[in-house]
Amino acid sequence: MKMQNEKSFPINWLLVFFSICLIAIPLILLRIYDSVLHDYFSESNYFDNPNIWLRDQLLIEEIFNQSQEKIQHLHNVLEKEGVNVEIFNASNELIYKNIRDEQGAIIDNHGNLITESSYKTTVLDINNQILGYIYTSPNAQNLAIKNSSSSESVMMLMIIIVILIILFAFLFLVRKEMIKPIIALNKAFKEIANENHSIKVMTSRIREINNLSSGYEEMNQHLATLKKQRSQYENDRNLFVSSIVHDLRTPLFGLKGYLAGLTNGLATSEEKREKYIRKAEIQAFKMDQLLSLLAKYNRSYYLSKHISKEKIDLNILIKDILNGLEYQKQQKKLRAIVKIGPISIHADHFLLYQAIENIISNAIRFSPINGIINITAKEDNNWLSIFIKDQGHGIADSDIEHVLKPLYQSEQSRKDSSHIGLGLAISKKNIESHGGTIILKNREEGGLEVTLLLRRD
């Protein structure tokens, strides 16, 4: 039985999902950080937005008043931030410069910015009149240090934590849905080697692992069935051998007794010697019949494993079988009425012939003198039903479930020592080898009805 798990998914989906999470989630966090959280985690600085930093940190309008206190404040802020500044008034006169190196100028003689990292800010008063110009550029010595700001460190720490969480979740899922089920499967396979079929394995949401578990369950169930069948076969074989020994021992014991009587001189007259010889012949004939039946059973068993199908005309097959049993029919003055249309079937000729012959032979054997045996057939889609009805005594209800077993004999059969209960067992084996079955049913008007159900294809 296949294990079902509606929430199972392929392992490829898990790997793709993990890869997407590993890439997309850090990028989303970066986006959220830049748009929402950046200002919360970091102070305004020149490197993030020069104009905002100038407005917040330098007190721009007050600088142009050239207050010594404000100039000192400006100098301290610039030293801390690591920024080069040149400030000009509205007349383009330099009023402040914190660059000691003459070669470190921000603008040239024409007022143009020298480097791409430099910025020019025009300062206006409340009346929108120009107060002056501020030229700024990052200090080369502090640029690398400032770029690695504390806010970026916070962001990197968050990304690392998220990646670790994703990895932990992935490893937890792999352990739960892959490693643990595989360990359970390994344990179950070892138990099967010890013929313990009761171990159940874990299901998984990963489809490949779940399919592997389902395959194990099917294999385990099949092996358990085979083990049960093997045990049954062993019991049947032991019973079969015991029955064969018993049935052979009876005529052998009689044959031995009659031969001993002849050898030891118990038959003192010619008439008595002839009687002993006839009895010995009868016992030898019974042994021959038993051995012939055994040979047929073994041959039937072998051929049922090596079927050679051919197209068979059912009417011709039944006619040949009845011709072969003509002598038995004449002895009991029986009539066989065959009502079968033009029907053909693909089957093994020998096995089908033998199966039907055994059943008709049984019908002759148990039919009363002047009785009638009816043989009909019916087609139903891909199935063919063959009905064989006699007018005998039928089979006792307690025996009807067992008469198809090898060597089983009903009470009526035991009265005839020439039969050991293999005929119907051979027929059953032959019909089942074609994917069919045999059904036995007592008729209300008396007698037995045997139905052979066969596939036509």
- The pLDDT, as a whole number, for residue 450 is 93
Q: What is the DSSP code string of 25-70? A: HHHHHHHHIIIIIHHHHS---TTT-HHHHHHHHS-HHHHTTT-HHH
Render the burial of 101-120: b for 16+ CB within 10 Å, e for the rest.
Answer: eeeebbbeeeeeeeeeebbb
Closest CA to 393 of 423, 420, 362: 362
* Residues with Cβ within 8 Å of residue 374, at least 6 apart in sequence: 337, 339, 387, 388, 389
Lowest mean pLDDT among 169-178, 290-299, 353-362, 393-402: 290-299
Q: What's the average model confidence in pLDDT over 277-301? A: 76
Closest CA to 390 of 445, 351, 453, 452: 445
- The pLDDT, as a whole number, for residue 117 is 57
Backbone angles phi, psi at 187, to 5 degrees: -65, -40
Q: Is the pLDDT of residue 37 over 60?
A: no
Taking the C-alpha atoms of residue 337 and residue 399, their distance in angstroms, rounded to an integer, is 27
Query: What is the SS3 assignment for 445?
Result: coil
Lowest mean pLDDT among 59-68, 203-212, 308-317: 59-68
Between residues 426 and 384, which one has the greater pLDDT?
384
User: In which band, very low, low, confident or very high, does the pLDDT at 4 lie, cut at 50, 70 and 90?
Assistant: very low
Q: Which residue has the tokens 């199935």?
A: 383
Lowest mean pLDDT among 118-127, 235-244, 312-321: 235-244
Q: Is the pLDDT of residue 299 over 80?
A: no
User: In which band, very low, low, confident or very high, does the pLDDT at 334 lie, cut at 50, 70 and 90?
Assistant: very high
Mean pLDDT of the chain: 77
Tokens read off for 144:
């690398």
pLDDT 10s digits, 220-264: 888 888 888 788 777 766 666 666 666 667 677 777 887 887 788
Rounded to 10 degrees, what is the CA torsion of 13, 16, 17, 19? 160
Asked if 297 and 428 touch (Cβ cutoff 8 Å), the reply is no
Q: Which residue has the tokens 């072998």?
A: 302
Q: Is the pLDDT of residue 389 over 90?
A: yes
Lowest mean pLDDT among 27-31, 38-42, 64-68, 274-278: 38-42
Q: What is the DSSP code string of 353-383? A: HHHHHHHHHHHHHHSPTT-EEEEEEEEETTE
User: In which band, very low, low, confident or very high, does the pLDDT at 36 lie, cut at 50, 70 and 90?
Assistant: low
- The pLDDT, as a whole number, for residue 336 is 92
- The pLDDT, as a whole number, for residue 1 is 44
Asked if 448 and 441 touch (Cβ cutoff 8 Å), the reply is yes
Which amino acid is present at 244? Answer: I
Taking the C-alpha atoms of residue 124 and residue 205, their distance in angstroms, rounded to an integer, is 67
- The pLDDT, as a whole number, for residue 151 is 57
- The pLDDT, as a whole number, for residue 147 is 47
User: In which band, very low, low, confident or very high, does the pLDDT at 337 lie, cut at 50, 70 and 90?
Assistant: very high
Q: How many CB atoms lie within 10 A of CB 426?
A: 24
Q: What's the average model confidence in pLDDT over 201-210? A: 78
Taking the C-alpha atoms of residue 135 and residue 120, their distance in angstroms, rounded to an integer, is 5
User: In which band, very low, low, confident or very high, does the pLDDT at 20 lie, cut at 50, 70 and 90?
Assistant: confident
* Residues with Cβ within 8 Å of residue 10, at least 6 apart in sequence: 206, 207, 208
Q: What's the average model confidence in pLDDT over 386-405? A: 84
Q: What is the DSSP code string of 140-174? A: HHHHHHHHS-HHHHHHHHHHHHHHHHHHHHHHHHH
- The pLDDT, as a whole number, for residue 62 is 62
- The pLDDT, as a whole number, for residue 316 is 93
Q: Is the pLDDT of residue 266 over 70?
A: yes
Asked if 120 and 112 touch (Cβ cutoff 8 Å), the reply is no
What is each CA distance from 115 to 13, 48, 304, in whole angstroms?
50, 18, 97
Between residues 402 and 49, which one has the greater pLDDT?
402
Q: What's the average model confidence in pLDDT over 38-47? A: 57
Tokens read off for 397:
């209800």
- The pLDDT, as a whole number, for residue 126 is 77
- The pLDDT, as a whole number, for residue 105 is 61
Q: What's the average model confidence in pLDDT over 41-70? A: 63
- The pLDDT, as a whole number, for residue 317 is 93
Determine what percent of the chain is predicted with pLDDT higher than 70. Answer: 73
- The pLDDT, as a whole number, for residue 167 is 82
Q: Which residues pair with 121 in a beta bridge?
A: 134
Q: What's the average model confidence in pLDDT over 114-127? A: 72
Closest CA to 384 of 325, 342, 416: 342
- The pLDDT, as a whole number, for residue 288 is 79
Closest CA to 380 of 429, 451, 440: 451
Between residues 266 and 228, which one has the greater pLDDT?
228
* Residues with Cβ within 8 Å of residue 79, at least 6 apart in sequence: 98
In order of their start, the domains of the chain are 50-147 (3.30.450), 308-455 (3.30.565.10)
pLDDT 10s digits, 424-452: 888 888 888 888 999 999 988 888 999 99
Between residues 388 and 159, which one has the greater pLDDT?
388
Q: Which long-range contacts (CB under 8 A, 24 or more apart) does 75-84 make?
A: 81/45, 81/46, 81/53, 81/57, 81/142, 81/146, 82/138, 82/139, 82/141, 82/142, 82/143, 82/145, 82/146, 83/46, 83/136, 83/137, 83/138, 83/139, 84/136, 84/137, 84/138, 84/139
